[in-house]
Amino acid sequence: MKKLTLLAAMLLIAIAMLMAAAGCGTTQPTPAPGPSPAPAEEITWKCASLFPAEDLCHKVQATTIVNTINERMAGKLHIELYLPDMLVPVMEQFMACSQGVCEATMACFDFDSQWVPEAMVAFPLPRTFETLDQSMKFWHEYGGLEFFRERYAERNMYLYRQLAYGRDCFMSKTLISDLSQMKGLKTWTPAPKAYMFERLGAMPTELPLEELYMGLKLGTLDANIYSVPELKTLNLYEVADYVYLPAIVPVITVNMSFNLDAWNSLSPEMQNELNAIMDEINPQMYNAIAQEETVGLDFFKENGGTIVEWTPAQMDELNQAAWDSWDDVAAVNAKAAEAVDMFRDFLKAEGAR
């Protein structure tokens, strides 16, 4: 009997030890909570704009893009927008962005062509696109965006997006009733349009944008090619008496670009979100500017300006000068020639020329 009692006691002890080892019947201490992961710090980028505050490229495009990004990506990415010369001198902003002094730049392809020569083709060439649909199709279905992104990447820049703007029209202080009057005309016109106007006998001149008004006022310039909303926003109606239609470039394309290292530092999710934002708002911005074109032309006429329609014969001559000038652009370098061929092939495929 004593042996049985002893065995029973030993068995109970063994069971208790097993239960203790398994944690049964005992209260385990709750581990102390660890520190919560810190929220990701918001990234701040600086963007240098080429355009003055009154210009619609700044008022409609640059500010819309930056404000939309800051709202949609709050807590993740914030972009600070700077007017010309506020962050870096205008003529240094492309290289400043390339070298990481700032992370973004709002500019124009013809301006960027000082560092990416073939970028002038993307402005685009004169007398190419007639509609927004043609422009967007070239950029997003025909490989235009990928081609020019590769060119910008060679300078450590990411071409965020081309931005369709509107019409670039010829404007003059005196009436040009015959294209022979173009000879010797001092005309503010950057590349690639400069090649076209050289063929017409004009003297293309490019002053900084902020000097355009005074150049026309003081007679340093006789004429210019610029977008029609700026007849009002930049007061060009005061220094140009004639505007000629149809436009030399019916659909302008400007651009916003990022420092490539900064772009690559973003997660794929953030990159996709940024691109989705632009897909949504790009056409909306173009439509807003198209409405401002009507406002600008109406304002111009109300203040004594005259709209001149090119005659069919003049348009034939202008078109030929434009198309011939593409060869001049193609001669700049091999990539420019490749870009010009892309435009030719696209227009041929579209039956546009």
Model confidence band, residue 19 (pLDDT cutoffs 50, 70, 90): very low
Nearest to 77 by CA among 68, 89, 64: 68
pLDDT at 303 over 70: yes
**Domain chopping of the chain, boundaries:** 43-164+252-294+335-349
Helices (H) and strands (E) in the chain, counts: 14, 11
Tell me the average pLDDT across 155-174: 94
Residues 224-253: pLDDT tens digits? Answer: 999 999 999 889 999 999 999 999 999 999
Model confidence band, residue 21 (pLDDT cutoffs 50, 70, 90): very low
Return the percentage of the chain with pLDDT > 90, whole number: 76
Better-scored residue on pLDDT, 15 or 249: 249
Say if residues 176 and 200 touch (Cβ distance below 8 Å).
no
Residue 209 — very low, low, confident or very high, per pLDDT cuts 50/70/90? confident
pLDDT the model gives residue 2: 40
What is the rounded CA–CA span in Å between residue 77 and residue 1? Answer: 82
Q: What is the model's pLDDT at position 353?
A: 67
pLDDT of residue 196: 96
- Under DSSP, the state recorded for 176 is -
Edge-to-edge strand ranges of the sheet holding 104-108: 77-82, 43-49, 104-108, 253-259, 157-164
Closest CA to 232 of 289, 170, 300: 300
Q: Taking the CA atoms of 90, 95, 97 and 102 in sequence, report the sign of the dihedral they define.
A: negative
The CATH homologous superfamily of the domain defined by 43-164+252-294+335-349: Bacterial extracellular solute-binding protein, family 7 (3.40.190.170)
Which pLDDT band, with edges at 50, 70 and 90, does 28 fall under?
Answer: very low
Q: Which of 132, 110, 131 is nearest to 285 (CA)?
A: 132
Where residue 54 falls among pLDDT bands split at 50, 70, 90? confident
Residue 89 to residue 104: CA distance in whole angstroms? 14
Where is average pLDDT lowest: 10-19, 235-244, 291-300?
10-19
The answer to whether 121 and 107 have CB atoms below 8 angstroms apart is no
**pLDDT band (50, 70, 90) for residue 34:** low
Segment 328-344 mean pLDDT? 95
Enter the pTM of the model: 0.83
Q: Kindly indicate the confidence band of residue 290, based on its pLDDT and cuts at 50, 70 and 90.
A: confident
- The pLDDT score that the predictor gives to residue 5 is 43
The amino acid occupying position 231 is L
HSE-up of residue 247 (Cα within 13 Å, Cβ side) = 23
Beta bridge partners of 79: 45
Q: Which H or E run includes 214? A: helix 212-218
The separation between CA 229 and the C-alpha centre of its own chain, rounded to angstroms, equals 18
Query: 3-class SS at 237?
Result: helix
- Distance of alpha carbon 202 from alpha carbon 60, whole angstroms: 32
Residue 190, pLDDT score: 87
> Is the per-residue pLDDT at 118 higher than 80?
yes
pLDDT exceeds cutoff 90 at 206: no
What is the structure's pLDDT at 123?
Answer: 93
Highest mean pLDDT among 27-31, 124-128, 206-210: 124-128
Cα(285)–Cα(294) distance, rounded to whole angstroms?
15
- Give Cα 107 distance to the centre of its chain: 7
Tell me, what's the pLDDT at 35?
Answer: 53
Q: Residue 314 contacts by C-beta under 8 Å, 6 or more apart in sequence?
A: 179
Residues 124-141: tens digit of each pLDDT: 999 888 888 999 999 999
Nearest of 179, 182, 180, 198 to residue 190 by alpha carbon: 198
- Tell me the mean pLDDT in the region 3-13: 42
If residue 117 lies in a helix (H) or strand (E), which one and from where to where? none
Give the confidence band of 169 by pLDDT, cuts at 50, 70, 90. Answer: very high
Q: Check residue 22 and give its pLDDT.
A: 44
Whether the pLDDT of residue 17 is over 60: the answer is: no
